[in-house]
Structure 1
Amino acid sequence: MTVPPVGAPGAGVPVATPSTARAAVPYDFRRPAALAREHSRVLGLAFETFARQWGTQLTAKVRVPSQVSFEGVALRTYDDHVSSLPATTAMVLCDVGGTAAKAVIQFPAAAALNWVSHMLGSTSASDVAERRFTRIEQTLVEGLMGEALEDLRYSLGALLEAPLAVDEIHYNSQFAQAAAKSELMVAASFAVRVGDRSVPATLALPADAVLPRLGDATPPAATADAPALIRAQLAETPVDVALRLAPAKVTPRAVMDLAVGDVLALPHGTHRPFHLSVAGRTLGQAAAGARGGRIAAVVVSTEENPA
């Protein structure tokens, strides 16, 4: 069987490249709340900025190389958010001006105790069990969180103009009543690395304090322009164009018996041009040629091919 080289006319339809696999996210039809794509993008950029600022602030205060990485943002009820957290953890409740619900910064208490030990002069991390902070430890942690809230206000900018302030710290995620169970929260997740230790952390903001301004920051496009926008987008969408030979029909047995050196006769005359096709639809005829040292197709005719 004679096989034309890759890229040569008659090589057939180009081989499709497998698309990048995406992780499936469960959708709860009982709670159809979700962030719009544009809102997720804007919030993601703001939280990435906050992560960088928070990491810089930790490095300066803890005096150990630190980095905070933003991992994702979602809109969920407060009950769903709390259910995803460990039962024993540090929950820093923060007042948000103008709303009854509170913002919550969550991280393992053991990690915060290591941060405090570095602030007090320790040069190595130690294994510490989850426990309540002493008065001195709580004061130091509240100071860290106060500066983190300043970084958050800077990062969100016009998306959150309400003042933020540390209120209290709880150690049981189920008992920390920061908001009603059905209250919608904008929940962001982070990975906080201090030295060679990395721990998960979350930030939950009342949706009522963020989403109204987020809508103003990303106004929807006028619906009257939708047809023109769709036509413009389709006109700029790349498609695969291929030159094809007329197909030959063979039996499955003949295909299974193919061996190196076999020749398949194709019902395509040597004097005939190739079929010019897009996604399997023939748009015209083209002859093989060359341009600039590369194989090219010279269109010799076109044909109507209604959908």
Structure 2
Amino acid sequence: MTLARDHGRRLEMAFERFARMWGTQLTSRLRALCSATCDRVELMPYDEYVGTLPARTAVMLCTVEQTRQTALLQTPVETVMVWVDYLFGGTGLGDDREGRELTDIELTVVRELLQPALDDLRYAFTTVAPLSLSMRAVQYSPQFVQAVPASDAVLVARFTLHTAERVDTATLMVPAENLLAAMRLAETDETRSDDDRREAAHTRTQLEQAVTAVPVDLVVRFAPVTVRPPEVVGLAVGDVLPLQHPATRPLDVVVDGVVLARAAVGSQGSRLACRVVDVEEENA
């Protein structure tokens, strides 16, 4: 699998922007000199990516907000423990005990450390395609993490992380199909001819006109009141139903269950009518 040259260049620039912001975030939160650099961006099958990871490493499972797919941020467990040590006021010694995993409290502070950096992806990818990640969990055995089908193409950005004197490698995996499709769509829009743009605008105008010509039912009603089934079944001529609608309050003007305005009851000739006295701001 290979990336188109233009796509690869744009992705590398976006991940480089993200790396700079990530390094700044780490330095600010850990109060230690940190930096991150993007070494390369690759397109490969998911199972091949997993095969490049250590048997034991910290894999942060993240949700891609635009598609609800799963992305992965991978860093060595030892690096994460160094972060935790800094966050709790230590000197960055970490914890290199074999099999050590994050406690619930440690996971919470790591999530608070990484989420602002992940939020920066949205800004880094502004000129490429929409991309927002939110961290939700951590795993330690990547071979058991089935984020996407094994043969699916994924984009993998590889980073060099500097935390004080420590140097590590981290990776960020994002499912490729939707991200590359968004990039191709943006390119198509940018390269359309003037005739294509005029035709698209004309089609959009026709669609808007067609939508505005669709009839809808408009209802003027009192505020709904809740009753029990026996009360409905037992209704008879002459029964009085008490309403909770104040006598001084205008009636609701409703379309498809949505209150659009308020109206006072009146008449126009021999027919009842209503005069709109207030419009719901959020629907205006």
Moved more, 167-176 or 123-132: 123-132
Equivalent position SS for 2:126: helix
Are the equivalent residues in 2 in contact too, given 1:106–1:201 (CA < 8 A)? yes
Corresponding residue of 2:152:
183
Equivalent position SS for 2:143: coil
Corresponding residue of 1:56:
24
Are the equivalent residues in 2 in contact too, given 1:75–1:185 (CA < 8 A)? yes
Give 1:162 deviation, angstroms.
4.9
Corresponding residue of 2:134:
165
1:104 aligns with 2:104: no
Corresponding residue of 2:197:
none
Cα distance in 2, alignment partners of residues 54 and 162 from structure 1: 15
Give 1:174 deviation, angstroms.
0.4
Equivalent position SS for 1:88: coil
Give 1:124 deviation, angstroms.
4.2
Are the equivalent residues in 1 in contact too, given 2:78–2:94 (CA < 8 A)? no
Deviations 1:38-76 (A, max 9, x none): 111000100000000000000011110000011000111
1:123 aligns with 2:68: no
Amino acid at match of 1:104: L
Runs (5+) with no aligned partner, structure 2: 193-284
Amino acid at match of 1:66: C
Are the equivalent residues in 1 in contact too, given 2:58–2:140 (CA < 8 A)? yes
Corresponding residue of 1:138:
107
Give 1:150 deviation, angstroms.
0.5
Q: Which one of the candidate residues 34, 53, 61 is aligned to 1:66?
A: 34
Are the equivalent residues in 2 in contact too, given 1:73–1:186 (CA < 8 A)? yes
Deviations 1:258-304 (A, max 9, x none): xxxxxxxxxxxxxxxxxxxxxxxxxxxxxxxxxxxxxxxxxxxxxxx
1:209 aligns with 2:175: no
Moved more, 85-94 or 154-163: 154-163
Number of aligned residue pairs: 190
Runs (5+) with no aligned partner, structure 1: 1-32, 223-307
Cα distance in 2, alignment partners of residues 136 and 152 from structure 1: 25
Amino acid at match of 1:112: V
Q: Which one of the candidate residues 81, 89, 100 is aligned to 2:49?
A: 81
Cα distance in 1, alignment partners of residues 23 and 66 from structure 2: 29
Are the equivalent residues in 2 in contact too, given 1:74–1:186 (CA < 8 A)? yes
Regions of 4+ moved over 4 Å: 217-222
Deviations 1:243-268 (A, max 9, x none): xxxxxxxxxxxxxxxxxxxxxxxxxx
Q: Which one of the candidate residues 120, 123, 135 is aligned to 1:154?
A: 123
Aligned CA RMSD, in angstroms, stands at 2.0
Cα distance in 2, alignment partners of residues 165 and 126 from structure 1: 25
Higher helix share: 2
- Normalising by structure 1, we get a TM-score of 0.58
Corresponding residue of 1:243:
none
- Normalising by structure 2, we get a TM-score of 0.63
Cα distance in 1, alignment partners of residues 70 and 95 from structure 2: 31
Are the equivalent residues in 2 in contact too, given 1:160–1:209 (CA < 8 A)? no
Equivalent position SS for 2:168: strand
Give 1:98 deviation, angstroms.
4.6
Identical aligned residues as a percent: 37
